[in-house]
């Protein structure tokens, strides 16, 4: 097992092999952080799964929503994921780039409808790249 640097969420570091870690604090505020796990290079036109570890210190139940700012040539398929109230859950979402390119996308994570984190803690920027196979 490869260990990566922990992502620092609202309530401390999250040990994970997933590229993203979401923490929900006791007040149900959502925070997201990038871990040290690699995303890798995507293949143009193919779906790529990005894992997310959720640490739910608020024991929140209901949908976990992921919203992406529109980026030309990028499709984001959010998870149909329900938070069960368990302390730790694993989920994922998928992305696809239409052509070889590099894009910067802003993702916002939400639970309990519009309730987000403080300031921009519920958002994360990801740099995604797609290259053709040579």
pLDDT for res 124: 93
* Domain count within the chain: 1
Residue 63 falls inside a structural domain:
yes
Residue 60 falls inside a structural domain:
yes
Q: Residue 120: which residues within 8 A CB-CB, separation 6 or more?
A: none
| Spatial separation of the C-alpha atoms in residues 69 and 108, rounded to whole Å | 8
pLDDT for res 113: 57
Residue 1 falls inside a structural domain:
no
Q: Do residues 107 and 120 touch, judged by C-beta distance below 8 A? A: no
Residue 25 falls inside a structural domain:
yes
Residue 48 falls inside a structural domain:
yes
Q: Can you list the residues of the chain whose pLDDT is less than 50?
A: 1-5, 8-10, 114-119
Residue 2 falls inside a structural domain:
no
Tokens 């740099």, residue located:
127
Helix H or strand E segment including 49: strand 48-56
Question: Among 29, 20, 13, which Cα is nearest to 91's?
Answer: 20
pLDDT for res 81: 79
pLDDT for res 130: 93
pLDDT for res 54: 94
pLDDT for res 72: 93
Domain that holds residue 105: 7-130
For residue 28, the domain's CATH number is 2.60.40.10
Residue 34 falls inside a structural domain:
yes
């Amino acid at each position: 097992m490869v260990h990566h640097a922990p992502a620092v969420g609202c309530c401390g570091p999250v040990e994970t092999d997933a590229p993203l870690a979401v923490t929900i604090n006791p007040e149900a505020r959502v925070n997201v952080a990038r871990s040290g796990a690699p995303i890798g290079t995507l293949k143009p036109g193919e779906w790529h799964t990005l894992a997310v570890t959720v640490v739910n210190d608020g024991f929140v139940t209901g949908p976990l929503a992921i919203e992406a700012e529109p980026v030309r040539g990028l499709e984001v398929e959010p998870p149909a994921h329900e938070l069960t109230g368990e302390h730790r859950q694993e989920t994922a979402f998928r992305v696809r780039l239409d052509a070889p390119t590099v894009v910067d996308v802003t993702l916002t994570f939400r639970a309990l409808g519009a309730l987000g984190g403080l300031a921009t803690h519920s958002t994360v920027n990801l740099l995604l790249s797609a290259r053709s196979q040579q």
